[in-house]
Amino acid sequence: MKSLPSILLVLGTALGLNAQTTPFIHYTFNDANTSTTTATNSGSSGAALNGVFVNSAGTPTALQNVTGVSGKAGDYAFNNSAATMSGAGGAVTASNLRDALSNAYGTTLVESYTISMWYYSTDVALSNSARLMAITGTANPVDIRNYISDGRVATTLGEETPNTGSGVSTPYAAVGEWLYIAVTVDLTQPSSNVKFYAGSTEDAVSLVATSSVGASNMNISSTLRIGNYIGTLSNAFEGYIDDFQLHLSTTNASGVLSQAQLENIRASAIPEPRESALIFLFGGALVAFFYKRAFCRR
């Protein structure tokens, strides 16, 4: 008969299978000091890629002051609701991405990556080429944005703009609720190398669309901006953004997260159902243990 520690070991091992690789950049926006103008990076690149919250004039401003996706005390999000969708607005800016990448890997050429985040449109749906994020450079811009005005979502890689395809707008168009988005890019593959995923607080991550881009790698430029475009701050996303993550690899396809890994990230941001499931699972294990022990004593 298995003991209670054995049951707990099996349970712990099963939960451990969901462990994630460490993102290169991770902004949780959960600093207890809501007056801060710094977006702390808990990713592997560390403080070198701490971001700065700025307003539409580019002035450092405290913008981590709205409740995050979990709804729990102490969970905050980047508040860009004062912006106008695809108009003027604030951003999170990290200006030394290229240097941090070079210092970490000795190169700025990226072979694969995954960008994921939660967003909440406060007044109008994601539209008019509003940027959820952007990494810009004259030759190799990277962004995630609404595609023109038809509701699709696109990512830019260099001179190419793969998108979700005509009519694929529903997963990204809701207003007044948290939506999860992830884009994976695998430049080690010649085609079908861009994938768009979506989820919500109620819906698990699903593959929305697959597209292709012809680049063999991306030469990442210096500035990352979340919630707006670089330079003029004139393509803002109007709403909230939470739990921004960038995973990447400079050598192979390991920067691409699987759908299961993305689902684990999504689920970890909404702890109430997750905690309930764990309590149920643990409780079931205990019931089974005591029932079996009582049965064996007969």
pLDDT in tens, 186-195: 999 999 999 9
Cα–Cα dist 220/101, whole Å:
8
User: Over the stretch 138-185, which tens digit does the pLDDT of each residue have?
Assistant: 556 788 888 755 667 888 887 788 888 766 667 888 999 999 999 999
With beta carbons less than 8 A apart as the criterion, state whether 86 and 236 touch: yes
Q: What is the pLDDT at residue 281?
A: 52
Q: What is the pLDDT at residue 151?
A: 64
CATH 1.10.510.10, domain 22-256, yes or no: no
Can you give the pLDDT of all 298 residues of the chain as single tens digits?
434 433 333 333 334 334 458 999 999 999 999 999 999 999 999 999 999 999 999 999 999 999 999 999 999 999 999 999 999 999 999 989 999 999 999 999 999 999 999 999 999 998 888 999 998 765 567 888 887 556 678 888 877 888 887 666 678 889 999 999 999 999 999 999 999 999 999 999 999 999 999 888 888 888 899 999 877 889 999 999 999 999 999 999 999 999 999 999 999 999 765 444 454 455 555 545 544 555 455 5
Q: What is the pLDDT at residue 137?
A: 60
Q: What is the pLDDT at residue 167?
A: 62
- pTM to 2 decimals? 0.85
Write the CB contacts of 59 (distance below 8 Å, at least 6 apart in sequence). none
Which is nearest to 165 in space by CA: 179, 147, 149? Answer: 147
Write the CB contacts of 230 (distance below 8 Å, at least 6 apart in sequence). 134, 136, 223
Cα–Cα dist 188/112, whole Å:
7
Cα–Cα dist 207/203, whole Å:
12
